[in-house]
Each structure stands twice: as structure tokens, then as C-alpha cells.
């Protein structure tokens, strides 16, 4: 890659301040950048690095005011972090993408793979599979019978998608994911053993969903386990049978959602959060890492802890806990 700040500004709809033709050949963190790199300044606590960085160009907010001389060219944008994402996306799209069908693969009779798709070696496509346009299926992927994969979706190496599941348009499923395994359903018997309850539903991922590596989304007992449009799940997450998750949620690694829980829209859920079964979480919530959610939650809450409480109350509780020894001595 070799581009100029002027070209970058045209991509991210920014304005250049400084040398617009300096050569940019890579990306780096602001404190680690060298000549030829472009970096960004989005968090004010990193502002001091902009005066010492060796980067050739820096994405900054439109209202950034330099308090000391700068050596780097500035590219002023509305939101540097969003602009960085747009720039990285443009760079990635410029790379050559694989096309065609490698060998060996197994594609069931009657399955049509459009010419602009890619199917990597040692993949398996079962009966009744339907593949959209510009889909990329990397090596060693298993796609069960009657699975539907929408246009422009990317299925990374080693993914397993069980029968009857539906993957929307523009989805990304990363290596090691299992979509549509049986939900954890067992009926207790009088003798203390358990009888397996058949799981005859499926999983539906709506458009623009991203599933991180080694995450599992279980099929419904009946009906569908559903992940809403634009939702992003990190690595190592468990989504149990019949969970319904709305639009544009973001969930960090190692979170778990028990069966039949219902998650609204636009929630931010931290790592290792545990959500009990059959409860509801509303919209626009912020749930701190390692929180336990045993009861339903409304909307626009900031909660943390186990059981999760209001974030301000949680901070107060920590202060009280730290003073317990002192209070016991006084008693």
C-alpha cells in the first residue's frame, strides 16, 4: 500500500492540514508509529503522543487544536475512529479476494454455487444448500442440508453450520464457530437419569451479523434462535436455544445467554456476562463485565455486578466493602 493524505481524505471525507502528498505505507498506534505510517487520535488521554509521534499523518477530530508544533500531516474528520474503520475497510476491499472452487470439495447434487463465489478445499455443502452471490467459504467448512447463506457473507475456515440454519446477507462467521448445534435440553426422569429432548428448530442470523471465533449459537427446540441485524458477537460466546437477540447489540468475549432469554436492541454487553434463561433485557443498556443478570432489565440502564445493580450503586458498595474491616473493629 502506498497512498497520500489527500487520497485518504477523499476516502474518509476529511480535510488535509499539512503535506497532502507525503507517502503513507502503513498503519500504527500513535505511540509506536514510524515515518510512512498513518495513525489516529480519538481518545483525549493520548493527545500528548501527537507531539512526539513519528507518524507521517494523523486522523484527528475537526475541532482538534494543537498546543505545540506538529510534524505530522493532519487529516481532520468528524470521528477519527469511524474514519479509521472506513479507511481500513477500503484498504481491505482493495485486496484481491479468492474466487472459484478449490479441490477437493464435496458439493451435493443440485447445489448451485454462483461464479463469483469461493469455496475452499475440503469443504462440504449438503443437499438443498442455497448460496448467494459473492459468498466466500474458506477451507474445511461444513454446511448442512438446506442451509441458506445470503449475498456477500464470509464463512471462515473450520466453521460448522448445521442443517436448516439461515445466514443473512453480509454476515461474517469466524473460524471454529458452530451454528445450529443442539440446544441443551434434557428432561429429568424418575430414576434420576435424563432423556434428551429433540431440538428441531434452527438458527437465523439476520443481515450484517458478525460471530467471533469459537462462538456457539444453538438451534431452537422448535422455532428459531435469532440474532438480529447488525449484532456483533465476540469470540467464545455461548448463545443457547431459543434466545432472541435484537438489532445492533455488541457482546464481548465469554458472555453466555441461557435458553429463551430475550435481548433487545443497541445493548453493550461486557465480557463474561451471564444472562439467565427466560428473562428480558430492554434496549440501549450498558452491562459491565462479569455481571450476572438473574432478572429482567429495562432500557437505558448502566449496571454491573452480581446480581447486577446500578453502576453508581455498585461503586458505592465497593467503598462500603473496603471499609468492612474498619467497621467490624468499631463494633
Active-site annotation, residues: 241
Residue with cell 438446506: 146
Three-class secondary structure of residue 216 per DSSP:
strand
DSSP H or E run through 91: helix 80-94
Q: Is the dihedral of CA 143, 231, 100, 114 positive or negative?
A: positive
Report the candidate in 130, 131, 105, 108 with the shortest Cα–Cα distance to residue 120.
Answer: 105
Residue 279 to residues 95, 247, 259: CA-CA distances in angstroms?
44, 17, 9
Task: State the DSSP code for 73.
Answer: E
Q: Are 31 and 40 in contact (CB under 8 A)?
A: no
Burial state string for 124-158 with b = 16 or more CB within 10 A and e = fewer than 16? bbbeebebbebbbbbebbbbbeebbbbbbbbbbbb
Burial state string for 17-28 with b = 16 or more CB within 10 A and e = fewer than 16? beebebebeebb
Amino acid at each position: 500500500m502506498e497512498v497520500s493524505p489527500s487520497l485518504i481524505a477523499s476516502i474518509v471525507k476529511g480535510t488535509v492540514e499539512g503535506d497532502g502528498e507525503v507517502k503513507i505505507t502503513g498503519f500504527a498506534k500513535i505511540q509506536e508509529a514510524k515515518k510512512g505510517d498513518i495513525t489516529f487520535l480519538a481518545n483525549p488521554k493520548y493527545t500528548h503522543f501527537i507531539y512526539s509521534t513519528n507518524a507521517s499523518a494523523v486522523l484527528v477530530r475537526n475541532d482538534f487544536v494543537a498546543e505545540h508544533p506538529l510534524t505530522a500531516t493532519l487529516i481532520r474528520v468528524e470521528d477519527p475512529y469511524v474514519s479509521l474503520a472506513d479507511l481500513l475497510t477500503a484498504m481491505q476491499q482493495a485486496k484481491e479476494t479468492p474466487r472459484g472452487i478449490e479441490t477437493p470439495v464435496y458439493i451435493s447434487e443440485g447445489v448451485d454455487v454462483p461464479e463469483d463465489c469461493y469455496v475452499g478445499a475440503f469443504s462440504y455443502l449438503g443437499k438443498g444448500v442455497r448460496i448467494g452471490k459473492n459468498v466466500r467459504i474458506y477451507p474445511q467448512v461444513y454446511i448442512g442440508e438446506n442451509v441458506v447463506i445470503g449475498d456477500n457473507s464470509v464463512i471462515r475456515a473450520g466453521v460448522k453450520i448445521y442443517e436448516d440454519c439461515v445466514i443473512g446477507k453480509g454476515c461474517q462467521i469466524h473460524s471454529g464457530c458452530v451454528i445450529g448445534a443442539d440446544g441443551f435440553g434434557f428432561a429429568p426422569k424418575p430414576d434420576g437419569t435424563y432423556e434428551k429432548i429433540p431440538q428441531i428448530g434452527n438458527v437465523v442470523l439476520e443481515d450484517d451479523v458478525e460471530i467471533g471465533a469459537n462462538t456457539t449459537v444453538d438451534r431452537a427446540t422448535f422455532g428459531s434462535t435469532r440474532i438480529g441485524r447488525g449484532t456483533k458477537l465476540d469470540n467464545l460466546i455461548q448463545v443457547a436455544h431459543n434466545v432472541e437477540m435484537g438489532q445492533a447489540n455488541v457482546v464481548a468475549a465469554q458472555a453466555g445467554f441461557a435458553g429463551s432469554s430475550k435481548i433487545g436492541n443497541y445493548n453493550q454487553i461486557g465480557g463474561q456476562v451471564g444472562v439467565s434463561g427466560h428473562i428480558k433485557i430492554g434496549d440501549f443498556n450498558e452491562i459491565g463485565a462479569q455481571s450476572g443478570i438473574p432478572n429482567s432489565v429495562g432500557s437505558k440502564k448502566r449496571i454491573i455486578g452480581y446480581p447486577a445493580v446500578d453502576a453508581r450503586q455498585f461503586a458505592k458498595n465497593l467503598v462500603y466493602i473496603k471499609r468492612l474491616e474498619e467497621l467490624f473493629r468499631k463494633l
